[in-house]
Amino acid sequence: MRKALQVAAALAAVTLLVGCFETKQDFTLNPDGSGKVRVEMAMPQMPFSLGPTDSQADPDLVAKQFVKGILDGSKGVDAWSEVSYTKTDDGRTRFLGTAYFKDLARLKLQSVKMEGISFTKDPSGGMVLLMEQPESPQPAAPPKEIPEAQLAQQIEMQRMQYQQMRPMMAATIGSMKMDVSFLLPGTLAEVSGFKKEPSGAVRLAFTGTQMLKVMDELMADDAYVRQGALAGKKGAGMGGPQMDEWTKEKLFGTKGPLRARVTGPFQPRFAYDAEVRAAKAAYPAMIERLGLTTLPAAPPTPTLPPGFGMPGGAKGAGAGRGPTR
């Protein structure tokens, strides 16, 4: 099966979970690499309601388990603040919260994990935000020698199977939305792939509808399908850090890493230590206000397709723990 079809099958396995997934992350970074991120995500209550007896579960309890799972399951977080949740009219849980972290590379938010991202100094005295695809553990296969008649048959078969799977992909990812921004210290000097915001931040945003449009265009492109068959690839790429350079160029306008460089003078965007102290002091009262002090352990969430959009695989976390590093 080609890559697009593999992704679609994985999406079907989580029962439209990703199709109802929306996330917005606004990062603020300091020169020392510390930062905070305001997280907003909306997900269906399915993650904790997959068993046959779970249909009778209290919706508010399910929502609280979802929130607690995010707080407990996230890694690299020094503190959480301003956490709240609501239930949407269409049955999803919407989470809001601010996470503080010392190292962007170590930050792994439960259910909204990004990979291949860094913010480091460069030899010229600037600082660079970089989002790039992690290297595959397997080397790329050399181009195959395929007779023209057989190659034409493979191309036709790929397109036919893609069209067979497309309705399911449209149902699963059609309403998915991803939005992430970074407010960096210093002055923007170079930007590739990101969009510049009036605030000085750089933003990356895309939807499931846009991804489907790109896949349609690629599967209609003879050169793309042909090179994929010759290279032994599995078809139209999709999925954020796992997407191929053709897909990335159509979505973000660049085949290379997503990159933003800033120059000095560098000043902290906020007082990290003071805000973290305040957040830690307020955390117990916040947990009690949200009703998260005593909850039954939630069953594990299903694993999302690796590298899909910006989220990575996500598993559930039990209740009863505070922020982890």
Q: How confident is the model at residue 36 (pLDDT cuts 50, 70, 90)?
A: very high
Confidence at residue 320, expressed as pLDDT on a 0 to 100 scale: 37
Single pTM value for the model: 0.77
What CA–CA distance (Å, rounded) separates 252 from 167?
Answer: 25
Mean pLDDT of the chain: 77
State which amino acid sits at residue 233.
K
Which pLDDT value is given to residue 20?
Answer: 54
Q: Is a pLDDT exceeding 60 seen at residue 25?
A: yes
Q: What are 134-149's pLDDT values in tens digits?
A: 555 555 555 567 777 8
pLDDT of residue 136: 52
Question: Residue 57 — pLDDT band, cuts 50, 70, 90?
Answer: low
Over 90: is that where the pLDDT of 75 sits? yes
Domain segments of the chain: what residues? 3-290
Q: CA gyration radius for the chain? A: 21
pLDDT at 312: 35
pLDDT digits (tens, 9 = 90+) for 247-304: 888 888 888 889 999 998 999 999 999 999 999 999 999 999 999 988 776 555 544 4
Query: In this predicted model, which residue has the larger pLDDT, 202 or 244?
Result: 202
Long-range pairs, 315-319, Cβ under 8 A, ≥24: 315/73, 316/47, 316/48, 316/69, 316/73, 317/68, 317/69, 317/70, 317/72, 317/73, 317/110, 318/69, 318/72, 319/65, 319/68, 319/69, 319/72, 319/292, 319/294, 319/295
